[in-house]
Amino acid sequence: MNEHPPSGYEAFDLLATMVAVVRPDGECLFANAAFESVMRLSRRAVQGLNLFDWFADATRLRETVAAVAGNAYSSGRFDAQLRRGARPHEDLLPVQVIVSQTDSPERVLVELIENAQQARQDREERTLDQVQATKELIRNLAHEIKNPLGGIRGAAQLLALELQPTELGPELEEYTQVIVHEADRLQSLVDRLLAPHRRAQVVGDVNIHEVCERVRSLILAEYPRGLQVLRDYDISLPDFRGDREQLIQAVLNIVQNAAQALQVQIAEGSAVITLQTRVARQVTIGKQRWRLALELHIQDNGPGVPAEIRDRIFYPLVSGRDGGTGLGLTLAQTIAQQHQGMIDCDSEPGRTDFRITLPLP
Ligand SMILES: Nc1ncnc2c1ncn2[C@@H]1O[C@H](COP(=O)(O)OP(=O)(O)OP(=O)(O)O)[C@@H](O)[C@H]1O
Ligand SMILES: [Mg+2]
């Protein structure tokens, strides 16, 4: 039995997917950091154990490892269930298994990708692509609306002036006022659509907890009764370079949504929003990998995001509430992306969690 992990495998520790190197009989020679943490084992405990024991049904894996080691084929890919914890059938984790050859027939590489992780990565990439495309469309459209809007408003004002001295003036002034008022409303919508692209970033050192505290005091000023805003901070998080005001805006938009969703709970006095910060290692954001990142979770105990818009809440003009313009989350996502980060959401009735992930230096 090998006492030390074979050298040269350390780089696998940098991967977010689980990787193990095994003998053809399944004996584990190496398991990377991701594997250890998913299996909740230490490296010492992993070595010498048999990989096949960790699967609900290892038949397919056994065959594939033997075939790959025996050079019948160079790699195989299939779905399986990984067993965590001691009791059988407890805590099964669906994974995709990829078995490949190494430079030695005595060693086989087994890679496991959590299906949930795969699904999440696919979803994130799709979201980023779509957001990019819609952003472009919206921006062009907003520009096209802006110019004629100025003309309409100006003409309505002139009309009002012309009408004033006439008999019909006072009666018709109401109509011209409606035109001016509606034009103004549209103008401010268009301004908000264009807002994320308008202001240049002001980059400085940002402390995420200062951002959280600012947002906390703003929301508590708005909802002085019935709402608790709890903090669960990891104060070891370092500062990072970013635009503080923009980040406050992004977090505030999310917290405001939570408070708006919590109307019933606020009236009952049971509304809770939690701001939680954590370190994350080896994260993939879009297509880029980062060694270190911070996660800010904004959780609420409200009714959850309505199911029919859950997939689309980050798109512009998607709103589930009366009077909503559907721009708050779009803007927040744009700001996160300008910081190479991203926002995602996990929601069910009673527990909604918006997660902002931002890379750290
Ligand atoms: N914490 C939450 N709980 C329940 N639903 C939420 C939550 N956050 C967002 N939503 C839903 O997502 C929708 C989109 O949010 P977004 O902030 O983009 O737009 P809005 O709040 O409707 O309008 P705006 O922010 O532009 O004033 C909301 O209308 C709401 O239905
Ligand atoms: Mg909003």
Question: How is the chain split into domains, by residue range?
Answer: 10-116, 119-198, 204-359
Distance (Å, rounded) from C-alpha 106 to C-alpha 19? Answer: 16
Residue nearest (by alpha carbon) to ligand 1 atom 2: 258
Distance CA 227, CA 343 (A): 24
Helix, coil or strand: residue 56: coil
Each of the 361 residues of the chain gets a pLDDT tens digit; together they read 444 555 678 888 888 889 999 999 999 998 888 888 787 777 667 778 899 998 989 999 999 999 999 988 888 899 998 887 655 555 778 899 999 999 888 999 999 988 876 777 777 777 777 777 877 888 888 888 888 999 999 999 999 888 888 887 788 888 899 999 999 988 888 887 777 656 678 899 999 999 999 999 999 999 999 999 999 999 999 999 999 999 999 999 999 999 999 999 999 999 999 999 999 988 888 778 899 999 999 999 999 999 999 989 998 889 999 888 898 998 899 899 999 999 999 999 999 999 999 999 8
204-359 has which fold? Heat Shock Protein 90 (3.30.565)
C-alpha 242 to ligand 2 mean position (Å): 22
Of 184, 193, 188, the closest CA to residue 141 belongs to: 193
Q: Is the CB of 204 under 6 A from ligand 1?
A: no
Tell me if 321 CB under 6 Å of ligand 1. Answer: yes
* Distance separating alpha carbons of residues 147 and 188, to the nearest angstrom: 13
Nearest CA to 349 out of 261, 266, 234 is that of 261
The environment of the single-atom ion ligand 2, i.e. residues with CB closer than 5 A, is: 257, 328
Burial of 291: CB neighbours in 10 Å, binned 0-12, 13-18, 19+: exposed
Q: Is the Cβ atom of 261 under 6 angstroms away from ligand 1?
A: yes
Per-residue model confidence (pLDDT) at position 1: 42
301 Cβ partners below 8 Å, 6+ apart? 262, 265, 270, 271, 272, 350, 351
> Would you tell me the crossing angle of helices 328-338 and 115-163 to the nearest 10 degrees?
120
- Token look-up 């004002």 returns 157
Whether the CB of 272 sits within 6 Å of ligand 1: no
The torsion of the CA quartet 31, 37, 40, 43, rounded to 10 degrees, works out to 40
* Adjacency order of strands within the sheet including 342-348: 227-232, 271-285, 288-300, 351-359, 342-348
**pTM score of the predicted model:** 0.66
Q: What pLDDT, in 10s, does the model give residues 283-313? A: 888 778 899 999 999 999 999 999 999 989 9
CA 137 and chain centroid, separation: 23
User: Is residue 57 within 8 Å of residue 70, measured between CB atoms?
Assistant: no
259 in contact with ligand 1, CB cutoff 6 A: no
- Cα of 264 from ligand 2 centre, angstroms: 17
Alpha carbons 113 and 111: distance in angstroms, whole number: 7
CB 106 within 8 A of CB 96: no
pLDDT digits (tens, 9 = 90+) for 184-227: 988 888 887 777 656 678 899 999 999 999 999 999 999 999 99
- How far apart are the C-alpha atoms of 208 and 244, rounded to whole Å? 9
CATH class of the domain at 10-116: alpha beta
Amino acid letter for position 42 = S
**pLDDT attached to residue 86:** 55
What pLDDT does residue 308 have? 93
Task: Specify which residues 277 forms β-bridges with.
Answer: 296
Cα(155)–Cα(180) distance, rounded to whole angstroms?
9
